[in-house]
Amino acid sequence: MPELPEVETVVRQLRPVVQQNKLVRLRLLDKKLRGVNPAELRHMRVYKVSRAGKQIIFHLRHARKEPERHLAIHLRMTGTLIWQRYAERSGGRKVVPDVSRRNYWRKAADILPQHVRAIFYFEDGCVLFCDPRRFGTFALKADAAGFRPAGLEPLSRAFTRKKLANLLRLSSQEIKPWLLRQDKLCGIGNIYAAEILFAARLHPRRRAGSLGASEVQRLHSATVRILRKAISFCGTTVSDFQDTTGSAGGFSRLLKVYDRENRRCRRCRGAILRIMQQGRSTYYCPVCQT
């Protein structure tokens, strides 16, 4: 599911409900989830929610100047975070469930989506981590810098045309797989790699190092433009991406090539092709992209 725009969407939606909220308890329901000891985070306040590449970071502490913990959530292919406010009584008084009581879990089972792997219980609601394929991961660190991906953030000021040119110059790899490399640029995945290359009118099999100055320029501006636009549409849903409210992303209908094999190119009316690169599908228009 989640590439940079989807993760950014989740972070923005989580911020107003989770930031400054106290994490009463974290409950892991899948033994596969390691890398975090829930007891360590009990009753800590989430003072900030941020994004690092494709990871969502909860910054936690008990109080100002107390030691900090930083929890990185990586949704991988099918992870979602769903916010659920606790049910309210008719009088409007919030009912905070006693999470130690088994009966809450039994009741909750009917309202919970499938594949819940972890539950973050906050004071007025909980965040459900759902992940059918169970690829998602948690990691806990004392220092937030430990999560900073090696690759450049494509929406940061540091991502300049010149930097991109320098990164590309060294590689003989095909440009599409190159865009997926999180150690070069972080946050781009299979959907946006295809969409960015279409917008830049570059063939996915071009070698990274072979791009001329004007092509690098196109790739740079297409990367920024497509990612920003996707964020403004709350990401893309192909099959199962959901934001924190369970809604689908709005960028799907703006896709020009991804998942459009044999359909007409919106620009030249020719057929969109699908090829395999490193075991993954690449969609492109052979007329528009050279």
CB of 141: closest distance to DNA in angstroms?
14
Please state the length of the chain: 290
Please pick, from the candidates 156, 172, 214, 245, the single residue that binds DNA as defined by CB under 7 A.
172
Active site residues: 2-3, 54, 280
For DNA, give the closer residue by CB, 44 or 152: 152
User: In the bound complex, what is the minimum distance in angstroms from residue 53's beta carbon to DNA?
Assistant: 6
Q: Is the dihedral of CA 129, 187, 247, 88 positive or negative?
A: positive
Shortest approach of DNA to residue 182 CB, angstroms? 5
- Among positions 67, 91, 92, 279, the unique one binding DNA when judged by CB under 7 A: 279
CB of 214 to DNA, least distance (A): 23
Binding characters for DNA, 106-145, by CB under 7 A (x = yes): --------xx----------------xxxx----------
- AA letter at 233: F
Sole binder of DNA in the list 37, 232, 281, 290 (CB under 7 A): 281
Distance set, CA 90 to CA 68, 87, 94 (Å): 38, 10, 10
50 binds DNA (CB under 7 A): no
Distances, alpha carbon 237 to alpha carbons 34, 107, 187, 233, in Å: 28, 30, 16, 11
* Residue 8 is a binding residue for DNA (CB under 7 A): no
Crossing angle for the helix pair 213-232 and 190-199, nearest 10 degrees? 130
> Is the Cβ of residue 122 or residue 241 nearer to DNA in the bound state?
241
Asked if residue 151 binds DNA (CB under 7 A), the reply is no
Task: Give phi and psi for 4, each to the nearest 5.
Answer: -50, -50
Binders of DNA among residues 76 to 95 (CB under 7 A) are: 76-78
List the structure tokens of 1. Answer: 């599911």
Sequence-separated (6 or more) residues with CB below 8 Å from residue 243: 6, 9, 10, 13, 234, 235, 249
How far apart CA 278 and CA 206 sit, in angstroms, is 14
The strand pair at 137-141 and 68-74 is best described as antiparallel
Residues at the site binding DNA, with contacts judged by CB under 7 A: 1-3, 6, 32, 53-54, 74, 76-78, 114-115, 132-135, 170-174, 177, 180, 182, 189-191, 235-241, 249, 278-281
